Amino acid sequence: MPKPTLVFAALLIALGLGAFVFSGSPTALLPAYPGLLLAILAGLALAFENWRRHLMHAAAVVALLGALAPAVTLGIRAAQMGALALTVNLGMLLLCGGLLALMVRSFIAARR
């Protein structure tokens, strides 16, 4: 699971940097922060085989929080958001939610 996590981390970082380039607003970088944390956790999981399970569980928590934050934001004020903010929030929700779904499926498969 660390390699797919690195891919999702890179996509989150690219989403945040792309939004920052288009808007110039520092809040547009918000998807990059969980992306950076996911990249660190995945890199550590690749480096330390004995800690992989724990690090991937920590990454799942980051993915869960990364999906909850835009979901709550969209639920509260989606009508007042601009097109870029709406796109970034939906992108972060889909990326983090997709990663979380893959992780849960992997955890279930590992238990069998």
- Side-chain-side CA neighbours of 82 within 13 Å: the count stands at 7
Domain boundaries, the chain: 2-111
Taking the alpha carbons at both ends of the chain, their separation in whole angstroms is: 16
Give dist(CA 56, CA 78) in Å, integer: 31
| 3-class secondary-structure state, position 15 | helix
Query: For residue 24, which phi and psi values (nearest 5 degrees)?
Result: 80, 0
- Which strand (E) or helix (H) includes residue 107? helix 83-111
pLDDT at 112: 82
- pLDDT for the residue 57: 94
Using the predicted structure, report yes or no on whether residue 55 has a pLDDT greater than 90.
yes
Digit-coded pLDDT (tens) for 1-26: 889 999 999 999 999 999 999 998 89
